[in-house]
Amino acid sequence: MNKLLVSFIVGCLATGSLVAAPINVTVFDGVMHTHGGAQSGTMLEDQEADKGSFNQLFDLEAFTWDSKTSVLSLIGEFDFQNGVTEGLSTIRGGDIFLDLNVDGIFEHAIVLDFDNITYDLLSVTESDLELFTDIYREFANPFKVKEGQGTLVIGGIDFDFQQNLSDEEIGFGLIGGNHYKIDLDLGSAGITGSFKAQYTMQCANDLIIAQVPEPALLSMIGVSLISLCLISRRKKTN
């Protein structure tokens, strides 16, 4: 095998591994109050708040997924730890909900503990959940697990929390300049792919939804890309 072919295959493998780098898995929630120019595709939720709040205090921006490490990241111009204080009231963040078989029913909740920077994975049923009854907020349900409710599946898993990240640091084309990011290693909780995730805050000003693809589908894309590389190489050498 000559040196050129080796470097070509290494290049192809690198292309394949790029597919496994974190991808934006945000899906549009169907509600749009745009300001600062509508984006498209997975970017529709950036610079948009579902209740039309234009001050950028509540901009949930994206869920990203790394199929290699099974890390789900939640990104927003919203302080996930402390919430947002306006006057005398503080609007706090909710919990992250997972719908594993994508049937519209959430069976797991991720409850974040910022004191220890760990999360608990809970198994939940509808009666465990705090729901919005206001018709303008119903679309954002569920919001939170009721205090002391839910069944612990696995607890005390470390997560990463970063704040004050610039547009450059956060990447993915997100804009606004003051991004917060939570990285959750879901592999440690036995969750590796094909689920829906959802997050909102106490006021439901904004809602963010993820659709994480099957692990097999992502690796198939990687294999297809490598095959295409090899075919194009073969064609060139013929």
- Contact residues toward Ca ion (CB under 5 A) are 29, 31, 45-48, 50, 59-61, 77, 99, 101, 103, 105, 107, 176, 206
Could you identify the residue written with the tokens 């594993």?
Answer: 100
Q: Output the CA–CA distances (angstroms, integers) from residue 172 to 21, 75, 186, 189, 222, in the order listed.
A: 12, 10, 21, 26, 20
Residue closer to Ca ion by CB (options 46, 120) is 46
Task: Supply the minimum distance, in Å, between the C-beta of residue 127 and Ca ion.
Answer: 16
Residue closer to Ca ion by CB (options 14, 105) is 105
Task: Supply the minimum distance, in Å, between the C-beta of residue 141 and Ca ion.
Answer: 14
Please give the structure tokens belonging to residue 88: 């005398």
Residue closer to Ca ion by CB (options 61, 183) is 61
Q: Which residues contact 116 (CB under 8 A, 6 or more apart)?
A: 156
Which of the 8 DSSP states describes residue 26?
E
d(CA 38, CA 35): 7
Residue closer to Ca ion by CB (options 104, 147) is 104
What residue ranges in 10-95 does DSSP mark as E strands?
Answer: 23-24, 26-27, 59-66, 71-77, 84-86, 89-91
| DSSP element (H, E) containing 125 | none
Task: Supply the minimum distance, in Å, between the C-beta of residue 116 and Ca ion.
Answer: 28
Give the residue from 63, 69, 180 showing the smallest Cα distance to 110.
63
- Residue at shortest CB range from Ca ion: 176
Q: Which residues contact 198 (CB under 8 A, 6 or more apart)?
A: 96, 97, 99, 106, 142, 207, 208, 209, 210
For 40, other C-beta atoms within 10 Å of its C-beta total: 7
Residue closer to Ca ion by CB (options 20, 165) is 165
Residue closer to Ca ion by CB (options 48, 120) is 48
Task: Supply the minimum distance, in Å, between the C-beta of residue 115 and Ca ion.
Answer: 27
Residue closer to Ca ion by CB (options 15, 213) is 213
Task: Supply the minimum distance, in Å, between the C-beta of residue 21 and Ca ion.
Answer: 21
Task: Supply the minimum distance, in Å, between the C-beta of residue 205 and Ca ion.
Answer: 9
Task: Supply the minimum distance, in Å, between the C-beta of residue 184 and Ca ion.
Answer: 18
